[in-house]
Structure 1
Amino acid sequence: MSVFTGYSGGAGSLVDALLGPQAGLQIVPGSVVYSGASGAVSYYDGSIAQLGMAAGILLTTGDGTPQTSNTASNYGVSNGTAGDAQLTAAVQAAFSQAGATYDAASLSFSFTVTDPATRYISFNVVFGSDEYPEYSDAIVDIAGVFVNGVNVALFNADPSRPLSVLKKNEVDGGFAANQNVGIEYDGLSKVLTIVAPVVAGVNTIKIAIADTNDSILDSGIFIAGLRALNISGCDLSGIYKSVVDEDHGVNGAEARVGLDSIAARTFYELTAVGGSGGNGGQFG
C-alpha cells in the first residue's frame, strides 16, 4: 500500500483525513475549498515511523507524493501555479527583501465546535523542505495556519519567525538534517503541536504553504489530529511551553501556564497533568 495517495478531487475528504478521532468539530457544509495543483496534496497513511506523525494529509509546494527515501539533494516540482496573498504578506513581514510567493497549496473551511466548553483547537504538524540547510539563512518557503484570519503558525508569536526552515527556528522547531527518515526532504522539524483559540459559533481555518521567490525546491507540511480542546473533559490544568522555553525536556510547574494564558500565534507542546514535556501528549 502506498504511503501517499494522490488527490483526485473532493476537498471534503482532505478535511476528513486531518480530523482526529472524536474531533468535536462540525464542518460547515459547502465551506471546504482546496486551492492549488491537484498533484500538490495527498493523503498520508502515517506509516513513516521516524516522522512521528499520525495519518493525515501532506500539503506541498510541488510534489504531493514525494519519494519515501532522501535520494535527491535538490528535489522539486514546479507546478506553475499562483502564490497566496496571505502567505506573501507573512513572508514579507519576515523578510523585508522578500518577493512574491509561488506554487501555493491551501485547504480552508469553516467549522463550529460541538461543546460550549471548547475554547481552543489543536493539531500536529511537521514541516519538511529541500531548502534545508543550504538556504536556511535566506528567504525560505513558508507555511501558514490562519484561524479566524490570524496566522497561528509563528514561533513565539514573532512575525519574523514563520513556519519555515529559517535558521533562527532551528532550535525551537527541532529542525535537523534528514539522516534516515523515509521522505525526500533534506530537513525536517520535529512534531509541533499548534493550539489556537476559537470562538462560539462559526470559525474559519486555512492551512497553506508556498514557494518564496522561486518555484524550484519543494517544501511540505504534514497535518494531522485536528480536534477541539475541551477543558472540562480533560484531566488537564496546564500547558508545558517547551518550544517557547527552548527546553525540550521540561516538566513540572516551572513550565506550566494556565489555559487562559495561551497566546495565539505560538507553537506549544501539550501534556496531560503528571506527564512530562514532549510530543504526543494525551488528553483525558
Structure 2
Amino acid sequence: MNFLENFHISRFWVIALLTLAVLSPPAILAAERRGEAKIHVPNRNPGLEVEDLTGDLTAADLAQLLAGPGVEISNVNYVGGDLAAGTFIGGTGIIGFESGVILSSGQAIDVVGPNTADNTSTDLGTPGDQDLTDLSGFETNDATILEFDLVPNASVLFIRYVFASEEYNEFVETSFNDVFAFFVNDKNCALVDEDPVSINTINNGNPFGEGTATNPEAYINNDLSDGGGAIDTEMDGLTVLLTCTAIVNPGVTNTLKLAVADASDSILDSAVFLATGGVTTTLGDQIGVVRNGKFWFLDSNDNDQWDGCQQDNGEDGCFIFGAPNDQPVVADWNSDGFSEIGVKRGRQWFLDNNANGAWDGCDVDRCVSNWGNPRDLPVGGLWKP
C-alpha cells in the first residue's frame, strides 16, 4: 500500500469521525425535526376561532381585552409578526376558559383543532428575546412580545393562562425548551416550583409515561403518537389552567411584558393562552365548608373536588380556627388580594389577619368588639364608601 492509498484511508476515517461528532445528540435530534404547515378547514363549529393582527385587530385591543377588574392599562407595545398574536373564542371545553388572547411562536391560527400532525410549524423569521433565552438556557427565535404599563388598585396581581406546544412529547428534556414568561416589573411570575414554565418543567417524561416526568399533575397530553388527540387543538400538549401571582405597587405605574419564543430553532410552535380579563387584582372565589364552628376545609386548588389537606400532602386548605357554635366569616382582612378566615362569637369578631390559618392573639390577628348583636349573621366585603 503506497503513501497515497494510506492518505485516502486516513482521510476517510477522519471524515467519518467528524460526521459522528457533528451529528451527535442533540444534533441528530435536530436533524430529525421537520416542521410542516397546517391545512385549515374553515367554519368548523364548535371549536377555537382565532383572529390575528393581519386585519383590524391591534395590539392595543389585545391589551385591553386582558385588563380585568382593578387594572388600568396604557402604553402598549408589540414585537412580533402579525400572524403570531390575536384573540380567540370557543376555548371552554378545550383550554378551560372561553376567550382571550393568544401569543404564539408561529401562527396563532395554528392552535385551532383538530390535532392532525405532530409537527405543525411556521418559521416566522423573527428574532428571539434575551430575557427568554436567559430563562430557557438556549438561544431563542420567533419571539412574540406584548408589553404595557398598568396601574393596579391592590398590591397583588394575578394572570390566568395555559401554555401549549408542538414540542410535546418527543422533545421534552432536550435543547428545544420552548419558553414563555410574564415579566412583572422585570421579574418573571410564570413559575412552577420556582422554575420558569416551559417544555422541560411541565411534562410527563420522554418517552411519554416512561421517562422522568416533571410536574406531571400540571400537564395534559394531546400527542397523537402517545394516545392523545381528543382535545380539539393542534397542540400536542398543554398545561392545566395556571395562575401567576405577583406583588405590585398599587396606585402607580407598573410594567408587564408577556413573551413566548421557540428555543434552539424556529420550528414546532408553542403558544400561551391568556384569559379575557385575566390580568387582574381580583380572582374568582372558591368554595369551602366550616364544620362545628372551627374546622375549615377550603378548595384551594379551585377544581371543585376534595383533594386532601395540604398538611397531609394534599392540595386543599385545612385549618382549625374558632370554637363550636362560632359563626364563620371571610374577607380580605389584610388587603393581600386573598380572602382570610374569621369567626364571630356573640358580638366579638376574631379575624386571621396574618393569613396563617391559626389564632395568634389580638396583637397579631385582628379583634373587633361589640359590633352587631349576638344572633346577627356576619358578613365581610369591600363596601363602597
Q: Which TM class, normalised by the smaller chain length?
A: 0.7 to 0.9
Note the C-alpha offset of 1:202: 0.8
Other-structure match for 1:155: 192
Other-structure match for 1:210: 261
Answer yes or no: is 1:10 the counterpart of 2:55.
Answer: no
Note the C-alpha offset of 1:216: 1.1
Note the C-alpha offset of 1:250: 2.5
Decide which of 91, 100, 104 is 1:56's aligned counterpart. Answer: 100
Other-structure match for 1:174: 219
Other-structure match for 1:122: 158
Percent of aligned positions that are identical = 28
Decide which of 221, 226, 239 is 2:272's aligned counterpart. Answer: 221
Larger relative contact order (C-alpha < 8 A, sep ≥ 6)? 1
Decide which of 203, 216, 237 is 1:187's aligned counterpart. Answer: 237
Q: Is the 8 A contact 1:132 1:165 kept in 2?
A: yes
Decide which of 101, 107, 117 is 1:72's aligned counterpart. Answer: 117
Listed as ranges, the gaps of 5+ residues in structure 2 are: 1-42, 204-212, 223-227, 289-295, 304-309, 321-331, 343-380
Note the C-alpha offset of 1:249: 4.8
1-structure distance, mates of 2:314, 2:142 = 33
Deviations 1:164-193 (A, max 9, x none): 121454425234234311110001111111
1-structure distance, mates of 2:156, 2:129 = 26
TM normalised by structure 2 equals 0.57
Q: Is the 8 A contact 2:114 2:229 kept in 1?
A: no
Which stretch of structure 1 is more off in the superposition, 205-214 or 66-75?
Answer: 66-75
Q: Is the 8 A contact 2:102 2:273 kept in 1?
A: yes
1:252-263 matches, within 5 Å, as 252-253=318-319
TM normalised by structure 1 equals 0.75
1-structure distance, mates of 2:233, 2:333 = 35
Other-structure match for 2:127: 82
Decide which of 82, 85, 94 is 1:38's aligned counterpart. Answer: 82
When residues 46 and 16 of structure 1 are mapped into structure 2, their CA distance, relative to the original with a 3 A threshold, is farther
- SS at structure 1 position matched to 2:63: helix
When residues 14 and 259 of structure 1 are mapped into structure 2, their CA distance, relative to the original with a 3 A threshold, is farther
Note the C-alpha offset of 1:235: 11
1-structure distance, mates of 2:339, 2:87 = 27
Other-structure match for 1:279: none
Note the C-alpha offset of 1:229: 3.3
Answer yes or no: is 1:131 the counterpart of 2:151.
Answer: no
2-structure distance, mates of 1:41, 1:154 = 22
Note the C-alpha offset of 1:242: 8.8
When residues 45 and 271 of structure 1 are mapped into structure 2, their CA distance, relative to the original with a 3 A threshold, is farther
- SS at structure 1 position matched to 2:183: strand
Runs ≥4 in structure 1, deviation > 4 angstroms?
233-239, 245-249, 270-274
1-structure distance, mates of 2:52, 2:61 = 12
Q: Which amino acid aligns with 1:149?
A: D
Decide which of 145, 166, 182 is 1:106's aligned counterpart. Answer: 145
Q: Which amino acid aligns with 1:10?
A: T
Note the C-alpha offset of 1:50: 2.8
When residues 235 and 131 of structure 1 are mapped into structure 2, their CA distance, relative to the original with a 3 A threshold, is closer
Which stretch of structure 1 is more off in the superposition, 167-176 or 125-134?
Answer: 167-176
Q: Is the 8 A contact 1:119 1:229 kept in 2?
A: no
Q: Is the 8 A contact 1:75 1:217 kept in 2?
A: yes
Q: Is the 8 A contact 1:235 1:272 kept in 2?
A: no
